Amino acid sequence: MGAVAEPLPNRRRGARRIRRAGGRGLLYVLAWIVALAILIPLIYAVLGGFRDTGQIAQNPVGLPDPWVPSNYTDILKSGTFWRQLWNSVLIAGLSTLLTVPLAAAAAFIFARFAFPGREWFYALFTLGLLFPVAVAILPVFIMVRDLGLLDSPLGVVLPQAAFGLPVTIIILRPFFASIPADLQDAAAIDGAGPLRFFWQILLPLSRPVLATVSVLAIVSSWNAFLLPLVVLTDSSQWTLPLGVTNYSTEHGADTAKILAFTTLSMVPALVFYAFAERHLVRGLTSGAVKG
Amino acid sequence: MAATTGQAAPPGRLADDVSVARVGGPGPADRRRARRRRVLRKLTTIALFLLPALVLYLLLVVFPIFQAVRYSGYKWSGLGPLTDFVGLDNFKRALQDDVFRGAVKHNAIIVALSLCIQLPVALGVAMLVNARLKGRALLRLLFFAPFVLSEVVTAVVFSLMLQPDGLVNHSLDKAGLSALGADWLGSTSLVLYTCFVVISWKYFGFHMVLYLAGLQQIPRELEEAAAIDGANRRQIFRYITLPLLGPTIRISVFLSIIGAIQLFDLVWVLTGGGPVNASNTMAIYVVDWGFKRFQFGYASAVAVIMLVISLVFALLYQRFVLRRDIEGALTTMGR
């Protein structure tokens, strides 16, 4: 750090560089240890899917010998995996398509309109961050049942979208507020009302942050477990997380098959992550840094 | 995330301001009518934009919370009308139940471990990734990856690795450390700590990303200036990095505690709360009594207790800890 401005005698500078090189090496070692801790379970799952269960019991370390691709191919050939994948995609897509537009419209009002009780309404939404699904799950279940939406994707989508509103609004509001008022004035002089300003100017300008909140909504829906667990009892409606838990109880002793199924269910999330990491990180850190 | 609450937004100006100004010399009655129309239009716009979100939110988040409070006063199986009012009995029963008290204790232990171990490790790793290492972008990508994996996938893979004859014990055997092997998920004294390790694996990347963003906001010149003034690394960390990271740390602590109070998915799949309730949490207790034993009234009472704990904690935290951030942590140097 900042040795540039420091006039040191040659000998001391040399000693310092050596010490710093040693420190560097230590940093790399530490980084690799953490990296391995993250990677080992993932590699174990991927390779485990290529073994048979006898191999896993005898030698779970090292490469599979011989490689057994049938665990993977069997799952890919059966319809179950694809149906669950489709259910997950459908529910994540619908949830996001519901949460983001509704939250954007509400955040627009919170950001650019003054009216009595505005902060009160906003506080009501932020409180939602504290309501875990577990607290509301019993009444939500009763309500979904009374609406006749058990075993329907909508029974998951609607509550999920409602619970996703707080985070989305909290991220969108400051962004919408930071768009200069001059723009809105100019639009007004040209005869554009608030609706057209929202649609034709604000939303196009907010594409990055909209991408961010969409990614957040997709990931949280994709991983959701408790709500689908109580709402979707019919196995044809199950999402991937339900499929994975069920597959692992059904094939109790067949570790290799379970690992293959689990690995396949990870793949879409990891591929998505590789493309959307930047948006995800931006969404999670917005606000947390500024305080 | 919750930190943005304090930012007030500038009120937007409406098109009507301009159109009214353009009309030349209206009488007072005209002006009043025009004003009323303008207010009406503004209210219509607000309603049009706000109501859809508000209705969905009130219907499926706020209303259920009130319903939970209502159910908590009854003995009810979830079917048929609410008739058997029992007052506060459900709450009394929960507070006297050793299993529930155990669950509260387990949540508290997870909170304490997260604050004392998981967050410092996350901060350390964030500083590691923030140092100019080769491949740091890749490291960040890798460290954060568990966060996008679902709790279910994480729990299934770990539960297989942690079986008595699974990867972990097998590797210890091979390394000649079989004495260290254990029944990680089957032993009542170990299981909670095993769960904590899996939780940390999944979530430390999230906190790392928060800290990393905070670290990148600290101007390098500050640390360099301190180094020139003769401060050593520990002093720079203690007197510059840590105070400037204050707001980020306080948010990260907040989210970590709220998350630990609500802990469900991971532990449910990993252990189901067992063996013998040794890894039970409040949320698991709620789902167990609600959906397995169909005592919706009793389970609702427990859910309400959980909610009260979250709310009280959040209000106290906002009041006593986060308030300092709103006053401007950078200008006061975190004092």
What pLDDT was estimated at residue A18? Answer: 55
Is B14 part of the contact surface with chain A (CB cutoff 8 Å)?
yes
The verdict on residue A161 lying in a domain is yes
Q: What total of structural domains would you count in chain B?
A: 2
Examine the domain organization and report whether B64 and B157 are in the same domain. no
Identify which of B76, B67, B94, B64 has the alpha carbon closest to the alpha carbon of residue B282: B94
Encode pLDDT of A7-33 as tens digits: 445 555 555 555 566 677 888 888 889
For the residues B327-333, what does the mean pLDDT come to? 35
The verdict on residue B42 lying in a domain is yes
The verdict on residue B5 lying in a domain is no
| Structure confidence at residue B54 as a pLDDT band (50, 70, 90) | very high
Cα separation, A124 vs A130, whole angstroms: 11
Which candidate from B2, B11, B15 shows the least CB-CB separation from A129? B2
ipTM (interface pTM) = 0.85
Which candidate from B12, B18, B153 shows the least CB-CB separation from A265? B153
Residue in this structure with the two tokens 């959980």, named with its chain if needed: B306
| Structure confidence at residue B8 as a pLDDT band (50, 70, 90) | very low
| Structure confidence at residue A284 as a pLDDT band (50, 70, 90) | confident
Beta carbons of B302 and B287 less than 8 angstroms apart:
no
CATH of residue A263's domain is 1.10.3720.10
Q: Over 50: is that where the pLDDT of A50 sits?
A: yes
Residue in this structure with the two tokens 């309603």, named with its chain if needed: B47
Examine the domain organization and report whether B317 and B290 are in the same domain. yes
The contacts of residue A182 (CB under 8 Å, 6+ apart) are none
Q: Over 70: is that where the pLDDT of A189 sits?
A: yes
Examine the domain organization and report whether B150 and B28 are in the same domain. no
Cα separation, B96 vs B112, whole angstroms: 24
Q: Please provide the average confidence, as pLDDT, over all residues in chain A.
A: 86
The verdict on residue B1 lying in a domain is no
Encode pLDDT of B267-315 as tens digits: 999 999 989 999 999 999 999 999 999 999 999 999 999 999 998 998 8
Examine the domain organization and report whether B33 and B177 are in the same domain. no
The verdict on residue B82 lying in a domain is no
The verdict on residue A68 lying in a domain is no
| A132–B227 CB contact, under 8 Å | no
Beta carbons of A172 and A225 less than 8 angstroms apart:
no
User: Which residue range forms the structural domain that includes residue B232?
Assistant: 89-326
Q: Over 80: is that where the pLDDT of A291 sits?
A: no
What pLDDT was estimated at residue B328? Answer: 37
Which candidate from A111, A115, A129 shows the least CB-CB separation from B1? A129
DSSP B194-221: HHHHHHHHHHHHHHHHHHHHHHHHS-HH
| B9–A111 CB contact, under 8 Å | yes
Q: Please provide the average confidence, as pLDDT, over all residues in chain B.
A: 85
For the residues A272-291, what does the mean pLDDT come to? 71
CATH of residue B94's domain is 1.10.3720.10
Stated as kind and residue range, the H or E segment containing A126 is: helix A118-127
Beta carbons of A220 and A19 less than 8 angstroms apart:
no
Is B263 part of the contact surface with chain A (CB cutoff 8 Å)?
no
User: Which residue range forms the structural domain that includes residue A202?
Assistant: 79-285
Count of C-beta atoms within a 10 Å radius of residue A228? 23
Encode pLDDT of A192-212 as tens digits: 888 888 988 899 988 888 988
The verdict on residue A72 lying in a domain is no
| A270–B50 CB contact, under 8 Å | no
Q: What total of structural domains would you count in chain A?
A: 1
Examine the domain organization and report whether B221 and B252 are in the same domain. yes
The verdict on residue B308 lying in a domain is yes
Identify which of B57, B96, B93 has the alpha carbon closest to the alpha carbon of residue B73: B93
Examine the domain organization and report whether B36 and B164 are in the same domain. no
